[in-house]
A and B are shown apart, each in its own frame.
Chain A
Amino acid sequence: MQLQNKIFKNKRYIVLSLSVAILFYLLNAVISDIFSIKSFYSNYKFLFALKLTYLDILGFHNRILTHSFVSLIIISILFGILVSLLTYKTSKNLSERKNKSGFIASAGIFLGVLAPGCITCGVGLASLLGLGAFLTFLPYEGLELSLLSIILLLFANYKVSKTLLNNNSCKIKQKPLNLKKLKGGK
């Protein structure tokens, strides 16, 4: 938390987080209704189609189920925060010997883009792959994947924060000094 307070004191990172979160949300809003949006631009003049697209995006929460909408909002926010943390890390030229958090972040982002809500709601790229019908056997129709994504993103945020706090130094485990060894003895 103290690290995030430190980073987000700089308004640039707040703007970056919000921008990424909003973009991610908008991407899902558009993807979930790409068919209708294509229809608008095929059948009406550009400005009218733009108006319809705007209304379509504005009414996105009406087109999906509530739990899916909540899940998408959470993933968008976590994604935005993670991007800011990673940007900060890059700007400080901090490299990491162990890249586990990089993979977890990627996995979290991947799942978040793939299934930020229930797939049959039409959100996420998995629905474009036609996985909606395939995943309806799941009790929450694919929402489980978004929950996994949230967990991974939370963990990735935590891991990246920890790396930044430690300034990429390895903590020495405190052991009692062995004076004999130091003196060259056995």
Chain B
Amino acid sequence: MQEERKSDTITIKKDSLWKYSTVILGAILILVVAFAILPGKSTTGAVVGTQPGNNLPSEGARVETLDLGDDPMLGDKNAKVTIVEFSDYQCPFCRKFWQDSYPAIKENYIDTGKANLVYKDFPLSFHPMAVPSANAANCVQEIGGDEAYFKMHDKLFEEQNILDGGTVSSTVQFTEQDIKNWAKEIGYDIASCVASNKFDSEITEDFSYGASVGVEGTPGFLIGNDKNGYVPISGAQPYSVFKQVLDAELS
């Protein structure tokens, strides 16, 4: 009987179990590092992955031309360099860019006529207020033009900062009513426009276009012009990085 019992059991020493587990964890880590070296996804901000497209640029390569469409533009349309920003209004990293780097970029490059900024919507699926916010901003643009658009753009980020305790620490939750109230505070009644969701298809097109040119997370930037192409940059980079890139593109 005892011999039968022995053959039914498998004995694993505790030492061996710990060793094997450690080796397995180490192997997983090595695989992940190897994966990191391969062409992969953008990491700063949310990761969305690329959409299938015919003309995806190789990772990091310049995008030759961009279709700016009728997307809102801040600054001189004849400026030598264009900063195309793919952004999500509920993304905390987009808000971080707006808080930390955008003011200096606006002051030193946009207001001086050296560069302009084009805003394209890139709402992420797990930010439920991203599309309503984008809709609202487009509604304001319809009434008041590009200048009004950027007032609403600033208002959306500003109010989220207030809800976040004056800082950028997490994704902030807010409602459609909040958005309508914020629009009213800057002088625009967009209730009926927002209810119609008339800009949904345009927002979706912006997203698809961003994915087709290699944008994989927010905020995503393409900086340059049609003559020299556009350099892709990802994430809420410090102003010093934008300065270097903008100066290089301007020269």
Binding site for B on A (CB under 8 A): 31-36, 38-44, 48, 51-52, 55-56, 58-59, 62-67, 97-100, 102-103, 106-107, 109-110, 113-114, 120-123, 125, 127-130, 132-133, 136-137, 140-141
Which residues from B are CB-within-8-Å of A109? 29
B248 close to chain A: CB less than 8 A: yes
Which residues from B are CB-within-8-Å of A110? 25-26, 28-29
**Given A65-B169, A103-B18, A128-B35; A133-B48 close (CB under 8 Å):** yes
Which residues of chain B from 44 to 95 have a CB within 8 Å of any chain A CB?
44-49, 58-62, 92-93
B33 close to chain A: CB less than 8 A: yes
Give the dominant DSSP class at A's interface: helix
State the Cβ distance, B17 to closest chain A Cβ, in Å.
Answer: 8
Which residues from B are CB-within-8-Å of A132? 43, 46-47
B113 close to chain A: CB less than 8 A: no
Q: Which of A33, A52, A58, A103 contacts B235 (CB 8 A)?
A: A33
Residues of B in contact, count (CB < 8 Å): 57
**Given A36-B235, A55-B240, A113-B29; A120-B45 close (CB under 8 Å):** yes
State the Cβ distance, B19 to closest chain A Cβ, in Å.
Answer: 6
How many interface contacts (CB-CB < 8 Å) are there between A and B? 172
State the Cβ distance, B161 to closest chain A Cβ, in Å.
Answer: 13
Binding site for A on B (CB under 8 A): 14-15, 18-19, 21-22, 25-26, 28-29, 32-33, 35-36, 40-49, 58-62, 92-93, 96, 100-101, 124-126, 167-171, 216-217, 231-238, 240-241, 244-245, 248
**Given A62-B236, A63-B237, A102-B22; A52-B36 close (CB under 8 Å):** no
**Given A62-B100, A128-B41; A36-B171 close (CB under 8 Å):** no
Which residues from A are CB-within-8-Å of B26? 106, 110
Q: Establish whether residues B47 and A44, one from each chain, have CB atoms under 8 Å apart when the complex forms.
A: no
Q: Establish whether residues A33 and B43, one from each chain, have CB atoms under 8 Å apart when the complex forms.
A: yes
Q: Which of A56, A107, A127 contacts B25 (CB 8 A)?
A: A107
